[in-house]
């Protein structure tokens, strides 16, 4: 699936990343904790979050994600959008809540993407 497909599924506004709408999305990860993103998110995943700070884009860049979806109609400020644009990370905003967004992605065939499913044992 591609970012442009996610945009359609979630009826999302593309905030930046016009040149990245053909990025492959291999799964999604929904989270509002940076530490959990760093622990569990796989490369080429879609990050679904309601967290609006610069750390989200930095984490997305470090983790090599396909894009970031902000839920509940949230939109980051222009500084964050400019940082994402500079790092070629598409940002989308949807009015759906996180639960609804994840359900719509799952039903559309995008699976949950976890790197490490057992944080206690590391397995």
Please state the rounded mean pLDDT for residues 102-110: 95
Instruction: Evaluate whether residue 92 is within a structural domain.
Output: yes
Instruction: Evaluate whether residue 99 is within a structural domain.
Output: yes
The CATH number of residue 73's host domain is 3.40.1390.20
pLDDT at 113: 81
Output 121 or 92, whichever has higher pLDDT: 92
Residue with tokens 């610069």: 54
Phi, psi of 64 (to 5 degrees): 55, 50
Instruction: Evaluate whether residue 115 is within a structural domain.
Output: no
Please state the rounded mean pLDDT for residues 41-65: 95
Collapsed DSSP state (helix, strand, coil) of residue 62: helix
- CB neighbourhood size of 62 (10 A): 12
The answer, yes or no, to whether residue 61 has pLDDT greater than 90, is: yes
Instruction: Evaluate whether residue 76 is within a structural domain.
Output: yes
Binned at pLDDT 50, 70 and 90, residue 117 comes out as low
Instruction: Evaluate whether residue 122 is within a structural domain.
Output: no
Please state the rounded mean pLDDT for residues 42-71: 96
Instruction: Evaluate whether residue 72 is within a structural domain.
Output: yes
Beta strand residue intervals within the chain, DSSP E? 13-16, 28-30, 46-49, 67-70, 91-93
Q: Which domain holds residue 79?
A: 3-107
Number of domains comprising the chain: 1
Please state the rounded mean pLDDT for residues 85-97: 97
The answer, yes or no, to whether residue 105 has pLDDT greater than 80, is: yes
pTM across the whole model:
0.91
């Amino acid at each position: 699936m591609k970012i442009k497909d996610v945009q359609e599924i979630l009826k999302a506004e593309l905030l930046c990343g016009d040149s990245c709408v053909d990025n492959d999305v291999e799964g999604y990860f929904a989270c509002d904790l940076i530490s959990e993103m760093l622990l569990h998110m796989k490369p080429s995943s879609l990050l679904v979050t309601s967290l609006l700070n610069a750390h989200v884009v930095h984490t997305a860049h470090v983790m090599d994600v396909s894009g970031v979806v902000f839920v509940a109609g949230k939109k980051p400020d222009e500084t964050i959008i400019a940082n994402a644009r500079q790092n070629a990370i598409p940002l989308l905003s949807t009015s759906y809540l996180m639960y609804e967004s994840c359900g719509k992605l799952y039903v559309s065939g995008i699976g949950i993407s976890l790197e490490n499913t057992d944080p206690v044992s590391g397995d």
